[in-house]
Amino acid sequence: MERVNWHDAVEFCDRLSLYSRSKYRLPSEAEWEYACRAGTTTPFYFGEKITPDVANYKGGCLESTTEVGRYPANAFGLCDMHGNVFEWCADIDHGNYECAPADGSAWLEDGNDEYRILRGGSWDYDSQWCRSGCRLIENPSVTKKEFGFRVVREEISHEEWEQQQVDLDWQEKKKRYYSLGFSDKEILLIEVALRICAKYLPTEFKEAKEKFNSMIKTRFLNHEAP
């Protein structure tokens, strides 16, 4: 997948999580490098040097992305960790790795959240960008032909999955509210009112909810503000 900005990649993970019983997310920068190196300490997981026979980068003759699996996988069975497309990570930008999380989690505090991290190099970048330890920073809203992503899949308990569904459903609901022009305060008041009505006026609530949903649907289809 290419021509994807960071926000689109995160939304893809959220939607995929919503329709599965697993959690999908972008890798942390530390997770990405661990997966890329696969136990190696050389600049590339296949050794000290890179050639067009083992990765897709600028200098070869392809000048475009290639299908996954065309080049040799690493010891973890992962393909295209070097070249093809840069891959978004979850972390925000930091000037160095001092005080970075020691557990491999994404570093999301005390940095520049206007930029996110990409790893792996690209078909349109020179070979040095493909090194296991090399990183690129970019604004998360930028979409380029060289940018893509891969996901991390986590197994979660049934209880965690149910909570995940609640959280993701709420995010989707808020997006619909926002698209209609509602503010955070108005959304909160609406949700509180709906919960009070559901508890104390169940019959009236059912009728009111049907009318409210009809109004929301009409405004959404007609792109009307409240």
Residue-wise pLDDT for 93-146, tens only, equals 998 888 899 999 999 998 999 999 999 999 999 999 999 999 999 999 999 999
Give me the half-sphere count of Cα atoms (radius 13 Å) on the Cβ side of residue 32: 30
Specify if 91 maps to a domain.
Answer: yes
Measured CA to CA, the distance from residue 53 to residue 148 in angstroms comes to: 22
Q: What mean pLDDT is predicted for residues 160-177?
A: 77
Burial group, residue 147, by CB count within 10 angstroms (0-12, 13-18, 19+): buried
**pLDDT category, 225, cuts 50, 70, 90?**
very low
- 3-state secondary structure (DSSP) of residue 171: helix
Residue-wise pLDDT for 70-99, tens only, equals 999 999 999 999 999 999 999 999 988 888
Is there a single domain that holds both residue 41 and residue 72? yes
- 3-state secondary structure (DSSP) of residue 89: strand
Q: Which amino acid is at 54?
A: V
Specify if 99 maps to a domain.
Answer: yes
Measured CA to CA, the distance from residue 118 to residue 36 in angstroms comes to: 13
Q: Which of 155, 176, 198 is the last residue of a domain?
A: 155
Is there a single domain that holds both residue 83 and residue 167? no
Specify if 54 maps to a domain.
Answer: yes
Burial group, residue 123, by CB count within 10 angstroms (0-12, 13-18, 19+): buried
Q: Tokens 């709420």 — which residue?
A: 170
**Domain assignment of residue 38, given as a range:** 6-155
Contact call for residues 28 and 107 (beta carbons, < 8 A) = yes
| Crossing angle of the two packed helices 184-200 and 202-222, in degrees rounded to 10 | 150
Is there a single domain that holds both residue 42 and residue 135? yes
How many separate domains does the chain show? 2
Is there a single domain that holds both residue 76 and residue 10? yes
Is there a single domain that holds both residue 22 and residue 96? yes
* pLDDT top residue among 34 and 200: 34
Is there a single domain that holds both residue 128 and residue 169? no
Is there a single domain that holds both residue 190 and residue 124? no
Is there a single domain that holds both residue 121 and residue 137? yes
Q: What mean pLDDT is predicted for residues 147-151?
A: 96
Bridge partners, residue 60, by sequence: 58
Is residue 6 left, alpha or beta, with left meaning phi > 0 and alpha meaning psi from -120 to 50?
alpha
First to last CA, the chain: 37
Tokens standing for residue 57: 């980068």
Q: Which of 112, 135, 155 is the last residue of a domain?
A: 155
Q: Which of 106, 137, 155 is the last residue of a domain?
A: 155
pTM of the prediction? 0.72
Specify if 168 maps to a domain.
Answer: yes
Q: Which amino acid is at 97?
A: Y
- Which distant-in-sequence residues (6+ apart) come within 8 Å of 10 by Cβ? 25, 26
Specify if 125 maps to a domain.
Answer: yes
Residue-wise pLDDT for 6-52, tens only, equals 999 999 998 888 777 788 999 999 999 999 999 999 999 999 999 99
Residue 196 has φ and ψ, to the nearest 5°, of -65, -45
